[in-house]
Every structure is written in C-alpha cells, then in structure tokens.
Amino acid sequence: MLEAARLRTLALADRFDGAQWLGPKLRIVNPPLWEIGHLGWFEERWCLRQRGHSSGCLPSNADALYDSAKVAHDTRWDLPLPTVKETLAMLAGIRASVAEQIDQHGASPELRYFVELSALHEEMHCEAFTYTRQTHGYSEPYPKIRIAGGNRCAGDVEIPGGRFVLGAEDDGQFVFDNEKWGHEVKVRPYRMARTPVTNALFAEFVEAGGYNNLDWWDKDGCEWLKTSRAQHPLYWRRSGQGWLRLRYDCLEPLVDDEPVIHVNWYEASAWCRWAGRRLPTEPEWEFAASSIPDGDGEKRRYPWGSEPPAADLANLYGAAGDTAPVGAFAAGDSAWGIRQMIGNVWEWTADWFQPYPGFIRDPYAEYSEPWFGNHKVLRGGCHATRACLIRNTWRNFYTPDRRDVFAGFRTCAL
C-alpha cells in the first residue's frame, strides 16, 4: 500500500514544474511543494516517531513547516520550504527508514495500523493533487479513457427500509474513527434514483434560471449565491446554445449522460427543490449500497459484494481518468439495482458530519473530530479515488460551499 501510493505521488509530482510547485495562493488547495513535504512528515510522525524512531531526514523545524493541524493554511506559500530536490530526497529517506521498521516489526498490529494510516493518507492527498490540477487549470494528470454508456438505467428503485446497522463492524480491517462503530438505525421506506444526476438534467435547471430564482435555495445557499455570483457549475462555459466543460486546461463538449461534477451542496440542494426531489440521508445511502433484499441484516462491503473493486465494477483511479456515463459499470450495481454507488463522483448527502454514538477518536485526532458539525457528508468515492480507500461505510466530508472537489449527487423522491 505504501509503495503503490508513493508511485502515484511521484507520478503526479513529475507533472508539476516551475511555478506550479507553489501555484497561485487559494483558500481551497495547498501548494504542492508543501503538500508533498507534509506526506513525508506525516509518515515519519506516525510510523517512526510514534515508535520512538527517527529517519534523520526531516529538517529541524519540520513540525513548524508541515503539521497541518498547527500551520495555518494561508501561511503555507510563505514558509522556508526545502527545494523540490530536497523534498523528494526527504520522502525517499523516510520511506527507507519505515521499510526497515516493517522488515523488523511487520507483524506488530500497532505498526500495521500506522502504516495503513500513512498509505491511505497519501492516497487522499493524491486525489487532492488531482483536483488541484483542475483548480489551477493545469494539464490533465491522466489520459481519459472513453467508457461505453452501458445499458439504459433510469428511474427510481423502491426500497422498503427497515432496521439496519449503520457504520463499520469490527472485523479486523482498517477503518477510520468516524466509521466506528456500527449501530442500529431505522430506515423508513424510500425511493432512490438508480443513477446520479446527469449534466443534461442539471442543464435544465440552469436554463430555467435556477441560479437566479432564490426560491430554490436555502438561506445559506442564497448567501453563497450572492458572494459567488454563480450562474452555472464552476467549469461550465456557454457555447452557442449549448455548453462546454473546462477539463483541466482544455475545453470539451459537455457530455449529457455523464454525472454533473464540481457542484457544491448548495447547488445540489437547490436542484433538488427545483426538481421536487431531495438528497438521501447517510443511512439511506448506506442501506441502498450495502443491504440485501431479504438479507436478514447482512451487509456488503461494496455494492456488488465482497470482491475488491475492479475496472469493470467501478470508475475509480485507474479506470477512466474522468467521469464516465451514468449507465456504465452495470456489474457494480448494488443488490437493489442502483448503479455507481462506488466511483465516478462523490455524492453529497443531506446530513451534517457528526460522530456516531460512543465515538472515540483515534490517535490521529485531527482527522475527524475538528470537522464535526460544520461539514456535509459525501459517500462513494470518485474517479480519482484509489480502490483501497473506499467501501460502503467510508465517510467523506467537505464544507457545503466546496465546488472544486469531484462531487456530484444522487437523489431520492420526496
């Protein structure tokens, strides 16, 4: 896991050059030079320092440079960071020291936990490097592979609900603290869309003046509209009577049957009001992804079962390099016949990010707890998410104004 993540990091790093290593100063992304150095600091912090070891590769002021919990975001462009060459050498040296620890103590459950934490942390940053390239309009990090649209997949699925265990079970596999632990909830009957909302469906809202009619927006959404002056999704560009999409540094025709992406929670919620729909709750989303009709409480790790994600099951990192049509990946349907609940686009839910009952924070205390109550939950992963990171119980979280991330949405009937 460590090596796979590092290979991806280095491949992405190779795509940055010159001024791109710092890039424009923006509130929503990090300078890549800082972010890559932070990966090394994090690995040393949890895989070495936690165990009383040191690689000797970090600068003496590393905590003041790279501790994301203490280093204010706006200062990260102005820090005395090591050079690119020094930063990459630092990563390699730390990795060599961690490899020695694995060789000597690889059977230790404690070391295994922190190694997995470090690997998954790096994969999350690899996804962030990917959307950073989109945010800055840099060239694409991966070539797009065209995926066939698949068979027609439309309408809603009737789901009877019932008593359900929401969250992860303690089966010995790594999970984050915000997934702990499974607890029983009651899910009322509902109807969920078989696919995410498409570009074509969202374009109807735009053409109907949806961004100018405040009736479709909640109070906070109205405030966001006033400050952002948005008139359409972030990377859409008008072309005659149609639309283009800015994908990295290229304008491309907007594909009608691909999911709308780079919309925030306010935009998703406004579309729902306009369409007479609603966003699913977390329990509804997880019930649809992991339960089985007449399954007597059985839960699946993935919508299709226990088999790890593969290129025919989900559009995750390595499959398409971008969004794919919502009808694709039929083999990955949930037991209810709902498509692409894993991969393609992160899906906003209705709920605020909150702890589960009995929450106890893990050693990496800054991962979940600081964000409870002011972030919205997203589920399912996207085309830039590594397969080892995602499962039905995995909870992502962003503030409701974020449009830069690879997020779309799926809806339920009122």
* pLDDT value of residue 241: 84
Q: List residues bridging with 408 in a β-sheet.
A: 347
Closest C-alpha to 200, from 408, 412, 413: 408
Residue 253 host element (H or E): strand 250-253
What percentage of the chain carries pLDDT values higher than 90?
A: 95
* pLDDT value of residue 294: 87
* Tally of helices (H runs) and strands (E runs) in the chain: 9, 13
Q: Is the pLDDT of residue 224 over 90?
A: yes
* pLDDT value of residue 97: 97
User: How would DSSP label each residue in 53-121?
Assistant: ---S-S-TTHHHHH-TTTS-GGGTTSS-PPPHHHHHHHHHHHHHHHHHHHHHHTT-HHHHHHHHHHHHH
pLDDT in tens, 40-67: 999 999 999 999 999 999 999 999 999 9
Q: Is the pLDDT of residue 380 over 90?
A: yes
Question: Which segments of the chain belong to CATH 1.20.120?
Answer: 2-136
* pLDDT value of residue 150: 84
Closest C-alpha to 275, from 343, 164, 167, 198: 198
Average pLDDT over residues 256-284: 98
* pLDDT value of residue 375: 98
* pLDDT value of residue 54: 96
Q: What is the pTM of this model?
A: 0.97
Question: Which segments of the chain belong to CATH 3.90.1580.10?
Answer: 145-414
Q: How confident is the model at residue 248 (pLDDT cuts 50, 70, 90)?
A: very high
* pLDDT value of residue 333: 98
Q: How confident is the model at residue 392 (pLDDT cuts 50, 70, 90)?
A: very high
Q: How confident is the model at residue 149 (pLDDT cuts 50, 70, 90)?
A: confident
- CATH number given to 145-414: 3.90.1580.10
Q: How confident is the model at residue 374 (pLDDT cuts 50, 70, 90)?
A: very high
* pLDDT value of residue 129: 97
Q: Is the pLDDT of residue 296 over 90?
A: no
Sign of CA dihedral 206, 210, 216, 218: positive
Mean pLDDT across the chain, nearest whole number? 96
Q: Is the pLDDT of residue 297 over 90?
A: no
Domain boundaries 2-136, CATH class:
mainly alpha
Residue 47 host element (H or E): none
* pLDDT value of residue 107: 81
User: How would DSSP label each residue in 266-316?
Assistant: HHHHHHHHHHTEEPPPHHHHHHHHHB-TT-TT-B-SBTTBSSPP-TTT-B-
Mean pLDDT lowest among 107-116, 182-191, 378-387: 107-116
Q: How confident is the model at residue 378 (pLDDT cuts 50, 70, 90)?
A: very high
What percentage of the chain carries pLDDT values higher than 70?
A: 100
Average pLDDT over residues 240-257: 95
* pLDDT value of residue 106: 82
SS3 assignment, position 12: helix
Average pLDDT over residues 375-381: 98
* pLDDT value of residue 262: 98
What the block records as the tokens of 114 is 């922190």
Question: What is the distance between the alpha carbons of residues 395 and 354, in angstroms, rounded to a whole number?
Answer: 10
